[in-house]
Chains A and B, each alone.
Chain A
Amino acid sequence: STSMAYIATRENCCILDERFGSYCPTTCGIADFFNKYHLTMDNELQEMDRILRQITN
């Protein structure tokens, strides 16, 4: 993964208008990412927890 900020340019953003300042993801994008992250993490944590409890028994 990269920690570099995504900066809007003429090439990657067809609605770019500098008068509106810098561009950020919408909260819909944030919610979509959050959902994906949430599902993956939830499954992985559940699985790790399950395996560890199996070892304990």
Chain B
Amino acid sequence: EHMSQSTCQYEKSWPICADDDWGTKCPSGCRMQGLIDETDQDYSHRIDTIKKLLAENQNNYKK
């Protein structure tokens, strides 16, 4: 069930993390999956661009 807006805000009023918290308190798995997928998409796109450039240049040199 969806939490009401006020409950959601109340439950997010945690103190700001200290450096020592890293390792004992970690990001949400959902958030990590999102970041990983986003980066994967970005890299796939960039790899495709590189592949395209490579193929185009290969053809130019063959002529």
Contacts and interface: CB of A to CB of B under 8 A. Distances in A.
Report if A and B associate in a common complex: yes
A4 to B, nearest CB: 21
Interface residues of A, number: 15
Chain B interface, >50% SS class: helix
Interface in B23-43: 23, 25-29, 32, 35-36, 39, 43
Interface size class for chain B?
20 to 34
Interface in A1-45: 26-28, 30-31, 34, 38, 41, 45
Interface in B1-60: 22-23, 25-29, 32, 35-36, 39, 43, 46-47, 49-50, 53-54, 56-57
A53 B53 contact: yes
Given A49-B46, A56-B57, 7 more contacts: A28-B25, A34-B39, A38-B39, A49-B50, A52-B50, A53-B53, A56-B56
